[in-house]
A and B are shown apart, each in its own frame.
Chain A
Amino acid sequence: MIGHELIVWNDELVTGVDKIDEQHRILVNSINDANARLSANSSAEILEQISRDLLSYALYHFETEEELMQEFNYAGSNADESEAHLRQHREFSSKVVAVRDGIKAGNLISREELLTFLNGWLINHILKTDKRLGAFIVAKSHAG
């Protein structure tokens, strides 16, 4: 079992857009929660709940971000980046749905795989993709 450190919310994670940051904090808490509650052998019940929370996160959080992207015309200013961003959102949702399908069929995702996926999301999406969006929105709001 790989030891995953608890994630402490820090300035590095801040995108600068309050609404986004607030929701990211909830995700960070969920990841820490998953870390604390999952043992080496994940129980279906806990995985079911964690994955449901992640679905919920995908729904409200991606809506928030994508609404902001539309509002600030991210695609118009930065088409490739916007498209990649949306694609990552869809991939996240698909992965969570796949995890849930697995649970249903009795193929439980391991603690390590789930935490690796979530930490990867944090590192690749929040720390990179979201921060670029945050910087864009902050710059645009100041300009406007």
Chain B
Amino acid sequence: MLRRIALGDIQVETLKVLKYPLFVKYGNGMTIEIPINSIIPSEPEVIVVFSFGFPVGKPDRGAEQLFGYTDDEAIGHTMDMLIPPDRPNEEAEILARISRGERVDHFETVRRHKDGRLINISASISPIMDEQGKIVGASKICTDITMSKAAADEIKYLAFYDPLTGLANRRLMSDRMEQILSLARRTGELVAICMIDLDGFKQVNDQKGHEAGDQLLIEVAKRLQECIRESDTASRFGGDEFAIILGGFKENSECIQSINRIISSLAAPYMVVNEIARVTASIGATIFPNDSGNPDQLLRHADEAMYEAKHAGKNCYRLFNPSLMNQQEANNATFKKIENALAKGQFVLYYQPQVDCRLGKVTGVEALIRWKHPILGLLEPSEFIPLIEHHDLIITIGEWVVQNALKQLVKWQSLGIDLTISINISARQLHQIDFIDHLNVLLAGHDQNVIRRLEIEVTETSVLEDVNAIANAIHKCREMGVRIAIDDFGTGFSSLAHLKKIPFDILKIDKSFVLGMLRNPEDLVLVDSVIGLATSFNRKVIAEGVESIDHVLMLLELRCSLMQGYEIARPMPAEQIPSWIGKFAPNPLWKLVNSQRPSRDYFEMLLAEVNHRHWIEHLVNQLCESQESFNPDLLIDHRQCRFGRWYYGDGHRQFGAENWFLSMEPVHQRIHQTAARLCEHRRAGKLAEVKAEEAILLFQQDELDLLLRRLRSELAEKYLMDQITKPHGEPT
């Protein structure tokens, strides 16, 4: 191929090798008087000089070594033989630049050796000028960089690829992720970042050898690449840990589909070293932009989700939940706040009196923690203790409570106040192996008069977590002289066998049952049974949540005399306890229980009231669900309910002449009529009517309750008047 190019004002056949090997080593003595001494080449560089018509110094064999052509083979031939066919214009373009007086430095390109192999060279080309400064030729310094190029490529490859599987490595993955994420930011598409860990890979490695393991990893890589699109990236992070980025989704469900495809592809059997091997994959994924962290965070989140997938039984995927993470961060901040509050002394103990209503005597107090929050005010334990119940902070706070309760006991002892203090110990603290040792340290230095006034309350559910261990701990507490109460009794599922094992002193009936017993006969039965249980085990029983005189009287009737609740006193700071005790006087109505008629009617009415609401509710549900034809008479007959039986029986005999008694009858009848209508509407599926009737029923029941309450208070007054007017000591 012949090309003509203007070099200065001479037309030359540029691509013909004019002098070959007209190579000189500069430094070995320059023979051309042209100013190119700025270039000082060294081995293994060679200089090719293309000149036009005049001799250029001493020949050098370097070019022959480089390109393989001897002088004879080269001189007079075109340079095409050196130039690979894919770059036909390269040399001509370079010469054009040279002819404009430019230099070309370290131009990396490919040339062809005589034997056909391609060699990488780096060339620096300078113009050759005559004395007048006219460009008459070019000198080219070539360096063979084939080896260093290969080494550099190798290094580059190793820097970005996993040598075993050929997948991207972590570094390249991060780069690609940046690109894919920035694209997704523009398009608004979803990107799934997935971490994959093989389940059972170690066994393959251990049982079949490393070669099998390597083969398996290569096959996994192959399958991964088959599952993903070209624009996605699969990478191996090392060991049996892979990561993939999947982009271009519109919906979460599409991401999940892809992930499921990968899971099933990887779960198919493998053929390694002529044997069948099986592994599965656990995949953790996080989806951008729902999770909007940076690439490192996204990988970390995917990794966390991967561990969840492992935990969930392997061969499955789990999605990272960013809202869960935010929540956890918020929760951690809460721990910190509580920790600070403890350090700053923002916790105080309030004390709620416990009274024996039969004897009319204050017996003890329950210590209840309060958080004097600088912003939110006084917080009850139910607002913050649950947040730390699975955290060691609860133990620190528990020990703080023990210390302070003991201090308070010492103080009251010096004031001559004889009270027990019960404190709440969390399940976590109770289950500490060194719980007893810690308690011993806290108790050290206190005399028995103090220690025997300390009561530890443990919840029924925390006891049930490990009955034997707890029984042992409780036993040791009692040996030290500390008494044990089982708190929230009725909320767990203690069996009698359990109770027999636990050497408790006191059962505390959970307040939900006490509060519910006046409305719900089932709660009433439960309260009654717990009291019976305590009696048969010969233990004390305390009812919590006593909020009205009705609760007190009902409990007394059920033979539970120890009580705690708002009806008696709210929790108060320690300083107020002495004056509260000073002012305490038992409510005279508490004695009602010991009386005979007319006070029995009080309880009959109470029971009638408890049962009526429930009876109606129960019957309505039963009739609505029944397949049989509806008989409204069952509901309309107001004499058939428990209240009706009392009203037309005992009640009528006792109060039949009283106006207030008679005024209850129509209210009661209306309730039954409403219930019948409600039932009919429900069976007919008339939702709007059902809602309306339900509201009416509620109103009517409240009306009846109100009348009954008024009636009971009249009875109570009558009883109190009788007490005052009756001579002392006469049986009532």
> Which residues of A pack against B, CB within 8 Å?
23, 25-26, 29-30, 32-33, 52-53, 55-60, 62-63, 66-67, 70, 89, 93, 97, 100-102, 104-107
Contact = CB atoms under 8 A, between A and B. Distances in A.
Interface stretch (B188-196, B347-355, B378-386): B378-386
Given A56-B334, A56-B387, A60-B333, A33 B375 contact: no
Given A26-B330, A60-B337, A66-B376, A105 B383 contact: no
Interface of B: 321-324, 326-327, 330-331, 333-334, 337, 373, 375-376, 379-380, 382-384, 386-387, 488, 491, 510, 512-513, 516
A56 B331 contact: yes
Contacts of A66: 375-376
28 contacts: A23-B330, A25-B326, A26-B323, A26-B326, A26-B330, A29-B322, A29-B327, A33-B321, A33-B324, A52-B386, A52-B387, A53-B331, A55-B384, A60-B330, A60-B333, A62-B376, A63-B376, A66-B375, A67-B375, A70-B375, A89-B376, A97-B382, A101-B382, A101-B512, A102-B512, A104-B488, A105-B512, A106-B491
Given A23-B330, A29-B322, 12 more contacts: A30-B327, A56-B334, A57-B330, A60-B330, A60-B333, A62-B375, A63-B373, A63-B375, A102-B512, A104-B512, A105-B491, A105-B512
Q: Which residue among B323, B373, B512, B516 has the maximum number of chain A CB atoms within 10 Å of its CB?
A: B323
A63 B334 CA distance: 11
B384 A59 contact: yes
A93 B371 CA distance: 14
Contact of A93 (B330, B331, B383): B383
Q: Which residue among B327, B333, B334, B337 has the maximum number of chain A CB atoms within 10 Å of its CB?
A: B327
A30 B513 CA distance: 31
B510 A104 contact: yes
A33 B383 contact: no
**Chain B interface main SS type:** helix
Contacts of A67: 375
Contacts of A62: 375-376
Contacts, number: 74
Given A32-B323, A101-B382, A104-B491, A60 B334 contact: yes
A56 B386 CA distance: 9
Contacts of A52: 386-387
A100 B387 CA distance: 12
A60 B327 CA distance: 11
A29 B322 CA distance: 9
Contacts of B382: 97, 100-101
Contacts of B491: 104-106
A101 B510 CA distance: 10
B94 to A, nearest CB: 60
A67 B337 CA distance: 14
Contacts of B386: 52, 55, 100
A66 to B, nearest CB: 5
B333 A53 contact: no
A100 B488 CA distance: 13
Contacts of A23: 330
A59 B510 contact: no
B492 to A, nearest CB: 10
A105 B513 contact: yes
B508 to A, nearest CB: 13
Contacts of B383: 55, 58-59, 93, 97
B282 to A, nearest CB: 22
Nearest to A103: B491
A13 to B, nearest CB: 15
Given A56-B334, A66-B375, A30 B387 contact: no
